[in-house]
A and B are shown apart, each in its own frame.
Chain A
Amino acid sequence: MGSVLELRDFSQKYQQRQLFKRLNLTIDRQACIAITGQNGAGKTTLLNVLAGLTNIDRGTLVIAPKMRIGYMAEQLAPNGLTPKTYLRLLGELDQFSNRNLEVQINQLAYEFGLAAALNTPLNQLSRGSLQKVNFVQAILRTPDILLLDEPLTGQDGTTQMRMIHWLKDYRQKGGAIIVGTNNAFLIEQLATEIYVLDAMRLLPIEELPQPEEKVMRLEFATTPRSLALPAALQKLALKIIDGTRYVILYANVKNSDELIRAMLKSGFSLRGLRYEVL
């Protein structure tokens, strides 16, 4: 597979301040590059550069011909448009055919739990719903390269899983993803290459450091209360907190997929997940 996007020997200054120094990055189809780094390290700026939204002081950005780029900024600026109008207009700007556009909007809205909010003005939506609209606009006309800036921010567990599933599927079908994030779960699930942006440079890392004591905290809704916890739980979970409305489970990262499957099969709904120190 040839590379779809390549950044060569890229350096950038802003008002005498060096932002990036001799960065190199190449992405092929069916790959996902995760860019991590501390706040202010320049992840968002680098994504702007990769999207071709800014001039480059030194170096070159080569995007393969006829590549369509989908871009999801960290935040969507809310306005009085409804998600449906907003998505329809953006789709039309992208030359999406009218009939397919309507179907695609409804389908994606349903898939990411946005269907009920399609006719509510954007400035009345929660941060999580805005982020869903933001995600849907980026993938509306399935792009060849997808640039995502902290895509899971504000999402509940179920939507996070749906987004990750969609992205995995998209990658397998030939899409290329570059994601700026510090979300270890997302990186672990999706990334084929990981880079850390540090001191103006992009350094490849084999995998995210996983301290032994780090475990996955999973939160499930127990409504209706009659649901019984699956038997496999005793074997898979390190700790179980069985509340009246929520079940909180702690598990090793390697057991988390199997544990989520068992809980979903038993009728529980995933509400949140994150790494924690037990």
Chain B
Amino acid sequence: MKSFSAQLRLHQKMVFDNGNLWGPLLFWVVSLLFNYGAQPQDFVGSLALLLMVLFVLMTWLTYSYINQFPLPMEKLLILKLKQQRRFYLGLISYLSLLGLIFVLIGILSLAVTDWLNGRQAFGRGLNWWDWLGGTLMLTSVLPVSVMTGLFWQRRILANRRIAGLLTILMVVLGSFGEAIVKYWHPYLYILGILPPVSTMAQLFNTLGTISLVDILLAWAMSLGYSLVLLLIDQLILRKRKFLF
């Protein structure tokens, strides 16, 4: 536990030191301001849009952080922690915690929007389930965004240009997947290998309310996809390790 907490503090200092947080945070604040300006709107619809934005910026934050994380430091930490998976557990936990803060800022901004507009900003009164469901809905995208950002790290693909391009492609094609399918049906088959973010957002967009089944499905999709990526990631890293 002590070493886990030390890991979290180390990542926090490194994120602030590298300045990886500020771009995505600014992006998030601007998105929330846009969301505030676009009234009147549907509560679930605006959450679905924020879910996609959150996916983009958490992938961006994760990718830029792992890209700047020095390899000798990673090597040293793994040696101190004695196992590679402990290092990744700490890293993923820290990034998820950051994501959770983003989610809370997002939910808080929606609450402020609603409050400033006499509780009618979203065309209807909101109850506790809307807020809890909204939080769970936004949180569901965190595993998939962190794992997408981590996937094309330096130890997996040394060419940073290609790695950056592949990450952007995964993010863009994953986010607009459902829209592309509407115009070109065969894309449905490609969608299976991309992050299921557009499908998750689509799930919520069908009803005007947040259903528990949709939340469970979104979490299952996000966790399932993340676990597959994590497995591939760890298998490659275990095989490669640090020869040089």
Tell me the A residues contacting B by CB distance below 8 Å: 12, 14, 19, 44-45, 48, 51-55, 69, 71, 73, 75-77, 79-81, 85, 89-90, 92-95, 137
Q: Are B6 and A77 in contact (CB under 8 A)?
A: no
Name the residue in A12, A73, A137 with the highest tally of chain B Cβ atoms < 10 Å from its Cβ.
A73
Complex Cα–Cα for A71 and B73 (A):
11
Residues of A within 8 A of B185 (CB): none
Complex Cα–Cα for A164 and B9 (A):
34
Contact string, B200-244, partner A, CB cutoff 8 A, digits 1/0? 000000000000000000000000000000000000001111111
Is the C-beta of B2 less than 8 angstroms from some C-beta in chain A?
yes
Look across to chain A and name the residue whose beta carbon is closest to the beta carbon of B13. Answer: A81
Select the stretch in B74-82, B92-100, B174-182 that faces chain A. Answer: B74-82
Q: What range describes how many residues of B lie at the interface?
A: 20 to 34
Tell me the B residues contacting A by CB distance below 8 Å: 2-3, 5-7, 9-10, 13-14, 17-18, 70-73, 75-81, 238-244
CB distance from A69 to the nearest CB of B (A): 7
Q: Are B76 and A71 in contact (CB under 8 A)?
A: yes
Residues of B within 8 A of A77 (CB): 70-73
Complex Cα–Cα for A57 and B57 (A):
40
- Known A-B contacts A75-B72, A79-B17; the reply to A92 vs B79 at CB < 8 A is no
Q: Are B78 and A53 in contact (CB under 8 A)?
A: yes
Look across to chain A and name the residue whose beta carbon is closest to the beta carbon of B17. Answer: A80
Q: Are B72 and A53 in contact (CB under 8 A)?
A: no
Complex Cα–Cα for A90 and B18 (A):
19
Complex Cα–Cα for A89 and B9 (A):
8
Residues of B within 8 A of A45 (CB): 243-244
Name the residue in B71, B240, B242 with the highest tally of chain A Cβ atoms < 10 Å from its Cβ.
B242
CB distance from A16 to the nearest CB of B (A): 14
Q: Are A94 and B241 in contact (CB under 8 A)?
A: no
- Known A-B contacts A71-B76, A77-B73, A81-B17; the reply to A93 vs B241 at CB < 8 A is no
Complex Cα–Cα for A75 and B14 (A):
18
Residues of B within 8 A of A69 (CB): 79
Q: Which of A55, A73, A76, A92 contacts B3 (CB 8 A)?
A: A92
Q: Which of A53, A80, A94, A95 contacts B75 (CB 8 A)?
A: A53
CB distance from B70 to the nearest CB of A (A): 3
Q: Are A95 and B2 in contact (CB under 8 A)?
A: yes
Residues of A within 8 A of B79 (CB): 51-53, 69, 71
Name the residue in B10, B81, B243 with the highest tally of chain A Cβ atoms < 10 Å from its Cβ.
B243
Residues of A within 8 A of B13 (CB): 80-81, 85, 89
Residues of B within 8 A of A95 (CB): 2-3
Q: Are A48 and B3 in contact (CB under 8 A)?
A: no
Residues of A within 8 A of B76 (CB): 71, 73, 90, 137
- Known A-B contacts A53-B79, A71-B79; the reply to A92 vs B6 at CB < 8 A is yes
Complex Cα–Cα for A203 and B12 (A):
46
- Known A-B contacts A73-B75, A79-B14; the reply to A93 vs B242 at CB < 8 A is no
- Known A-B contacts A71-B76, A80-B13; the reply to A54 vs B242 at CB < 8 A is yes
